[in-house]
Structure 1
Amino acid sequence: MNIQNKIEQKVKEAISHLHQVDLAQVEFQPTRKDFEGDVTVVTFPMLRQIKTNPVQLGNAIGEYLVENVEEIVSFNVVQGFLNIVLSNKFYLSSFEAIANNSDFGKAEVNEYSDTIMVEYSSPNTNKPLHLGHVRNNLLGFSVAEILKASGRRVYKTQIINDRGIHICKSMLAWERWGNGETPESTGLKGDKLVGNYYVKFDQEHKKEIASLISEGKTEVEAKAQAPVLVAAKEMLIKWEAGDEEVKALWEKMNQWVYDGFEKTYKTLGVDFDKNYYESNTYLLGKDVVAEGIEKGVFFRKDDGSVWIDLTEDGLDEKIVLRSDGTAVYMTQDIGTAIQRVKDFAIDGMVYTVGNEQDYHFKVLFLILSKLGYEWANNLYHLSYGMVDLPTGKMKSREGTVVDADDLIAQMTQTAKSISEELGKLGEYSSEEKEELYKMIGLGALKYYILKVDPRKRILFNPEESVDFQGNTGPFIQYTYARIQSILRKANLETDGMELPQSYVLHEKEKELIKQLQSYPDTIQLAAENHSPALIANYTYDLVKEFNSFYQNVTILGTPDEAEKKFRVQLSKSVGDIIKSAFGLLGIQVPERM
């Protein structure tokens, strides 16, 4: 039982003893900096059940707690706030538990743990990953790691959109204008090569539209009748019919893209336990629709199309099968969700998809619930805002996207320029410097994106993110490296150290221990809210607290050996938690910087 739970239990006990009233809950808040105390109980809500004034009530509870909770040494009351002072011994014991637990903060997976699947990335195979995919991947990967740390069993997955007219556009353009180019012959990553032909298709399509309009066609007619689009549609029909030549081209070009994606994923530091492919899943769900019609969940219209009426749920009617019997995306998503539960026996899923799909997921989850799947209550749409650049919006078909690989390279170069300007890496070899630039650049990128609430839109500024001051990845990485430098200079054995209970904590030491204590709760809260931002900002607060400690107390220069050992151990524990928290964000930390 943690101290807050213990205090809550004793406060309820006090109210029952003093006033014969059963409290449903006790409200806590952090003690304000200008008052003495470590935990504050808010007594105002209790006055709804107890007829007295808040100061008298606070004093009565405080006296009861001092008598009955050994960790509490004193209290003070300010209006309706009971400020509780915890003992020096409590903080020493608490810190000893933290220091001797290499996995502090993380909950263990056991036989009762929920199994959650997290879907992220899910790109199209007609273009390389871009800045929007970067946010998606970083969010999905981090949420998966946070859920793991909170005690869930987690599977990471993506569904690759490898079929459809957009794929055929790239294929047709390469067939007509590619002259047999390959990733090997051009030196381009496969996803970039294929993406170039997607752009080429759009260019040729626009030329044909302009030509047809000049011949008297309307814009709508010209777009639909442009020969290159007609040819792409014919290619899709051949693909669906299993044409061997088209299938062979599709497999070859998709493999180029998969190989390219894999390199980007490796650089980003994200991975997957299972890939699903739309070419395998696009027929899933049709049998579920047939069952749903029998159950009365779906209904058939006169033209043969199948719908669900969600108007009573505040939504509208939604089609699940076209009149020709073909599936829509909703049908596939229904079937794929059911398939995943069969494959992995999962209890819930997290879909990492941009907020433009909010309505789609409301409908999907509601349909699955109406079909009787209990696990539908454990589905979550990790809805996130788009990433904007100072230059404006990105468009894939026009080739104006910010390529993920180019962005990572730019971040590495920015880290290099700033590091050289600051002159921080004089002792490093060239290879060590390049590795560190990449670590700083990627850390800056990931932290800048993950520190923001997922639902908010981001204006991404590469230069601003690579700053060694303020709420940035490099600032936190630098603090971690500073701690490692302290540990090297101290050269003390810190593992399994027992602390003298007579040691009196400095106020800065106590504040740092308080910050460490809140790490497990922060992980649970971040998991509950599917928000890496809570971990990112916790880590920044911890680093600020450490830097205040570093500036206000002597660590290695103190003549008291016990004090020195304790402060070195405290520094080590802070470093361990920074590394652990940044690991949940997918960010590496350097031993030297």
Structure 2
Amino acid sequence: MEYNPYRALIKEFRRIAEEITGSGDLQVIRARAGFGYLSIPLHDLIRGRPELAREVNDKTSLVKSPYLANLRFINGFLNTDVNLVNYGKLVLDSALALGPSYGKSPDVKPLNIVVEHTSANPLHPLHIGHCRNMVLGDSLVRLLRFMGHRVSARFYLDDTGIQVMYLALGYRHVKDLVRRRIELGLKPDQVMWIVYSVTNAVAEVQRLTRMLEGKGEEEYRELVRERDEWVSVIADWLSKDKELVDSLVKALSSIDVNSEVARMAKAYEDGELGVKELVREAVNLVLRGFEETLNQFDVKFDQYDWESEVAVYNGLAKRVIMDLVKAAPSYVEFKDGVYVFRADKAAAELKLWDELRLPKFVPPATLNRSDGTTLYLTRDVAYAIWCLTNCNPDMVVRVIAVEQTHPQAQLRIMLKLLGFDASRIVHYAYEMVNLGDVKMSSRRGQAVTVDSLLEDAVRRVRAIASGRGGLNIDEVARAVAVGAIRYYFASVSPSKQIVFDWGRVLDMNQNSGPFIQYTYVRAYSILNKANVDVEPGQYTVPTSLSQEEGNLLLMIGEFPETLLKVSEDLKLENLVSFINRLALEFNTFYEKYPVINAEPGVREFRLALVKGVRVVLENSMRILGIPVLSRM
């Protein structure tokens, strides 16, 4: 049994090549199509030792190996096929013996890793952009834990700043109406979204109305047009909940909303008890709604880190500024009560681009407001310091949108200047989700929420599955919908934008969550009908194998190495691509060859092969958070 059969094969090939050439440290690569399975380029050695080509050619026919076959020297490459009888038995014995642990690498050094993901502002329901963040972050947590790392999954809860105060101020005036709706079964984050958006809209209407005074005709018209847009936001919410919106607008009409939220923001940072209790109450309601959504996708966090606690009330955010002034005074400017960090100057003079993986351009960063309150970036730096100090991480993976590339670069530069190991901070950036003509603005009440996305997927799956007897359609449809969404967001490189396409999300023929689930069900059904739990040693690999059988054996053997590389590179899309190829190969095999009705000897082998595929699919699905079903 081998935890990594592919690596054992590489080791064997390298050993033989070193014996033949008399040289060590040889690179093993995959051979070009038609030239074998593995290859070692020997061009550099031959240039220094021309006689080596003849020696290698003469020695290849003398090689004896249990796992290699048809060793040959072609155009400077030492190529080999695989003895699938012996290697196939090693692969299947390993997969069958290890089962749920197949793919783990016991020689991986366990690290303390923090994965911070989702971290949505507690103002409104999670939307489709958060969904990509959530899926990527949770899949990374699952992957790294599977590989043996000690992982802490954390949600950074931004409960300070102006936007949260809009929520809290609105909530203060309509508490009873909000509670009544939640008691009737409405999701808390959906109700609080109305409160936040309407309060924001009223503030914008008030601001724009004040700006009208003394403006010329053209500018006046433009301001009125912008104000009318915010009035229409209120009107849209009125059509959804007239009582709540009417009450809120009436209560806010006698208040200078912008001045009040600014006052509350400072009071909250100062720890004023009444404001603190109000904000916590409002934010916790939104958080309850978040957790309902997260539970649908089986996403769990070890800790919610409240920004106020880890960065503000302990004074850390303000100390960051003062410590930065002391540590790097030539890179901090002060004017009219505002500190500005010259990240551009620091990056250039200290040549930090490669060390800190910086973008080509990094702008200066403002660190505080003139009233003394801190800004998001400064609090974010404080959180990073808190995390590095208190969580003892070897690595902190922050799943944050690509739009935050510059702030995250500024953060790493500041950490470096403050004496912290900024290389431990990894910005796992992801691109936006493109919805075509759909415009998103949570402030304006325009967003495709994760809840609505999931319900739409459930409806579409139900339509596909209608008429299938013997199933709990509701339960299966929801599991398939979750799998479809999770697979889709993990399948595309985070560096690429996603153009959301239901045709791809629910494609039953290839490269989708439902396709993987259905392939797993096929494998499960075969083994269930056979009513035999084939174990290592209970089968013999035939000397004559079909191409599909050989391909499946090789892919099952590659799984641990693939998983190891994915965990090192944090490229989930490569795992998704692998299981899609495995599923395609298995379905071709399924259509062409009998398993249960195969002749004795072949039957046992094919059952072992099917079980090996099932093991790889199930372990991959659990890493990607795709629900595992036994029937579809």
TM-score by length of 1: 0.89
Decide which of 188, 196, 217 is 2:186's aligned counterpart.
Answer: 188
Question: Per-residue deviation at 1:408?
Answer: 0.8
Partner SS state of residue 177, structure 2:
coil
Worse overlay, 458-467 or 283-292? 283-292
Alignment-derived partner of residue 14 in structure 1: 20
Q: Is the 8 A contact 2:505 2:513 kept in 1?
A: yes
Decide which of 335, 342, 347 is 1:310's aligned counterpart.
Answer: 347
Distance 2:207 2:326 in 1: 47
Alignment-derived partner of residue 247 in structure 1: 276
Question: Per-residue deviation at 1:25?
Answer: 3.5
Alignment-derived partner of residue 167 in structure 1: 164
Distance 1:138 1:60 in 2: 54
Distance 2:326 2:164 in 1: 36
Cα deviation digits, residues 525-555 of structure 1 (max 9, x gap): 1112212111111110111111122223221
Alignment-derived partner of residue 565 in structure 2: 525
Instruction: From the superposition, tell whether residues 571 and 10 of structure 1 become closer, same or farther in structure 2 (CA, over 3 Å).
Output: same
1:381-460 alignment to 2 at 5 Å? 381-420=427-466, 423=467, 425-428=468-471, 432-460=472-500
Partner SS state of residue 63, structure 2:
helix
Q: Does 1:371 align with 2:418?
A: yes
Alignment-derived partner of residue 29 in structure 1: 30
Alignment-derived partner of residue 258 in structure 1: 287
Worse overlay, 356-365 or 245-254? 245-254
Distance 2:64 2:399 in 1: 48
Give the superposed CA RMSD: 2.9
Distance 1:57 1:212 in 2: 89
Instruction: From the superposition, tell whether residues 109 and 187 of structure 1 become closer, same or farther in structure 2 (CA, over 3 Å).
Output: farther
Partner SS state of residue 442, structure 2:
coil
Alignment-derived partner of residue 85 in structure 1: 81
Alignment-derived partner of residue 514 in structure 1: 554
Alignment-derived partner of residue 574 in structure 1: 613
Partner SS state of residue 399, structure 2:
strand
Question: Per-residue deviation at 1:216?
Answer: 3.2
Q: Match of 1:161, as an amino acid? A: D
Q: Is the 8 A contact 2:30 2:37 kept in 1?
A: no
1:206-285 alignment to 2 at 5 Å? 206-217=204-215, 227-283=256-312, 284-285=316-317
Q: Is the 8 A contact 1:390 1:461 kept in 2?
A: no
Question: Per-residue deviation at 1:296?
Answer: 4.0
Distance 1:180 1:587 in 2: 38
Question: Per-residue deviation at 1:298?
Answer: 6.4
Distance 1:38 1:310 in 2: 46
Distance 1:289 1:398 in 2: 34
Partner SS state of residue 106, structure 1:
coil
Instruction: From the superposition, tell whether residues 58 and 543 of structure 1 become closer, same or farther in structure 2 (CA, over 3 Å).
Output: farther
Partner SS state of residue 588, structure 1:
coil
1:93-112 alignment to 2 at 5 Å? 93-102=90-99, 103-108=101-106, 112=109
Q: Is the 8 A contact 1:306 1:323 kept in 2?
A: no
Instruction: From the superposition, tell whether residues 170 and 289 of structure 1 become closer, same or farther in structure 2 (CA, over 3 Å).
Output: closer
Partner SS state of residue 87, structure 2:
helix
Partner SS state of residue 464, structure 1:
helix
Decide which of 588, 593, 599 is 1:553's aligned counterpart.
Answer: 593
Alignment-derived partner of residue 19 in structure 1: none
Instruction: From the superposition, tell whether residues 174 and 82 of structure 1 become closer, same or farther in structure 2 (CA, over 3 Å).
Output: same
Worse overlay, 355-364 or 441-450? 355-364
Instruction: From the superposition, tell whether residues 124 and 477 of structure 1 become closer, same or farther in structure 2 (CA, over 3 Å).
Output: same
Q: Match of 2:98, as an amino acid? A: N
Distance 1:125 1:501 in 2: 57
Q: Does 1:128 align with 2:168?
A: no
Q: Is the 8 A contact 2:68 2:81 kept in 1?
A: yes
Partner SS state of residue 98, structure 2:
coil
Q: Match of 1:73, as an amino acid? A: A
Cα deviation digits, residues 258-289 of structure 1 (max 9, x gap): 11111111012111111101121333244355
Instruction: From the superposition, tell whether residues 265 and 83 of structure 1 become closer, same or farther in structure 2 (CA, over 3 Å).
Output: same
Question: Per-residue deviation at 1:319?
Answer: 4.5
Alignment-derived partner of residue 202 in structure 2: 204
Alignment-derived partner of residue 117 in structure 1: 114
Partner SS state of residue 85, structure 1:
strand
Structure 1 gaps of 5+ residues are: 17-21
Q: Match of 1:130, as an amino acid? A: H
Q: Match of 2:607, as an amino acid? A: V
Cα deviation digits, residues 13-54 of structure 1 (max 9, x gap): 4222xxxxx45532411451x44x332333445445443697
Worse overlay, 174-183 or 346-355? 174-183
Question: Per-residue deviation at 1:338?
Answer: 2.5
Q: Is the 8 A contact 2:527 2:533 kept in 1?
A: no
Distance 2:86 2:333 in 1: 73
Worse overlay, 328-337 or 139-148? 328-337
1:62-77 alignment to 2 at 5 Å? 62-63=60-61, 66-67=62-63, 69-77=65-73
Partner SS state of residue 352, structure 1:
strand
Instruction: From the superposition, tell whether residues 401 and 48 of structure 1 become closer, same or farther in structure 2 (CA, over 3 Å).
Output: farther
Alignment-derived partner of residue 135 in structure 2: 138
Q: Is the 8 A contact 1:142 1:585 kept in 2?
A: yes
Partner SS state of residue 387, structure 2:
helix
Distance 2:486 2:289 in 1: 21
Q: Match of 2:63, as an amino acid? A: E
Cα deviation digits, residues 341-361 of structure 1 (max 9, x gap): 333221111000000111222
Alignment-derived partner of residue 232 in structure 2: none
Instruction: From the superposition, tell whether residues 300 and 72 of structure 1 become closer, same or farther in structure 2 (CA, over 3 Å).
Output: closer
Worse overlay, 95-104 or 1-10? 1-10
Q: Does 1:41 align with 2:40?
A: yes
Worse overlay, 172-181 or 448-457? 172-181
Distance 1:294 1:205 in 2: 39
Q: Match of 1:571, as an amino acid? A: V
Instruction: From the superposition, tell whether residues 236 and 290 of structure 1 become closer, same or farther in structure 2 (CA, over 3 Å).
Output: closer
Alignment-derived partner of residue 485 in structure 1: 525
Q: Is the 8 A contact 1:107 1:149 kept in 2?
A: no
Q: Match of 2:470, as an amino acid? A: E
Q: Match of 1:479, as an amino acid? A: T
Cα deviation digits, residues 162-216 of structure 1 (max 9, x gap): 1221111122234446663324355321111111112212332343345445543
Question: Per-residue deviation at 1:114?
Answer: 1.2
Instruction: From the superposition, tell whether residues 108 and 158 of structure 1 become closer, same or farther in structure 2 (CA, over 3 Å).
Output: farther
Q: Does 1:542 align with 2:587?
A: no
